[in-house]
Amino acid sequence: MQMGIIGAGLIGRAVARLVLAAGHEVMLSNSRGPESMSSLLDDIPGSRIGTVAEAAQFGTMVLLAIPLKHYRSVSAEWLNGKIVLDANNYYPERDGRVDALDQHETTTSRLIAEHLHGSKVVKVFNAVLAEDLLSDLRPKGAAQRRALPVAGDDLAAKARVIKLLDEIGFDAVDAGSLDESWRFERAKPAYCIPFDKNGLKVALAAADRRIELPHGSWRRESGRR
């Protein structure tokens, strides 16, 4: 499998390392161009770097890990027919206010899927800290293996993403369609807190769309529940 990564920040780099370790190919990109990423070739051996358009073309799966406010800068044409892994979160202080999100009329992934209308968007990797991706992976069948939430409308695309999670060291819980992905958006009980499959199912079910956890509380949580 070839993965293109749009966004070479902490999540993009962490996913690149895991996907490479699982035996797949990776091309990283960012908005500033390959010349700004030359150090990544040393930091992430085996990776490639390219433009955003090149990474989109390269990947059979493409990870979108950029600030939400920039999602329209990614051409829908580049990603037509591709499985797009949406790792975006809405932070109003960074992204500006989005009325439809503030009024709970849509989800971040639905916005992105409407823009990338020819893509198969799967919400994943938004509800885990980058450092936890690199430290919490466990072999298949390990006790209390961490589970990550996944949401999407295309069942086949979602199944492929769940298979990839298993390959890189994580269980998965199917949280439903993109319209249900709010259950693991920012400041919900499942957001960036480590759970096994049973614990994650409980956290997803406990989510209330109009109630947010205190900002940053997920960074202070510890332990596996």
In contact, 149 and 127? CB cutoff 8 Å: yes
H helices of the chain, in order, are 10-21, 40-43, 52-58, 92-95, 99-102, 108-115, 130-135, 155-168, 197-206, 217-220
In contact, 88 and 64? CB cutoff 8 Å: yes
Q: To the nearest whole number, what is the mean pLDDT of the chain? A: 95
> Tell me: the pLDDT tens digits for 52-90?
999 999 999 999 999 999 999 999 999 999 999 999 999
Ranges 38-42, 141-145, 201-205, 217-221, most confident: 201-205
Residue 142 and residue 139: Cα distance in Å, rounded? 6
Q: What is the pLDDT of residue 122?
A: 98
> Tell me: the pLDDT tens digits for 85-95?
999 999 999 99
| Stronger pLDDT, 219 or 120, i.e. the higher one | 120
Residue 214 and residue 121: Cα distance in Å, rounded? 29
Residue 224: pLDDT band with limits 50, 70, 90: very low
pLDDT (mean) for 165-181: 98
Q: What is the pLDDT of residue 133?
A: 97
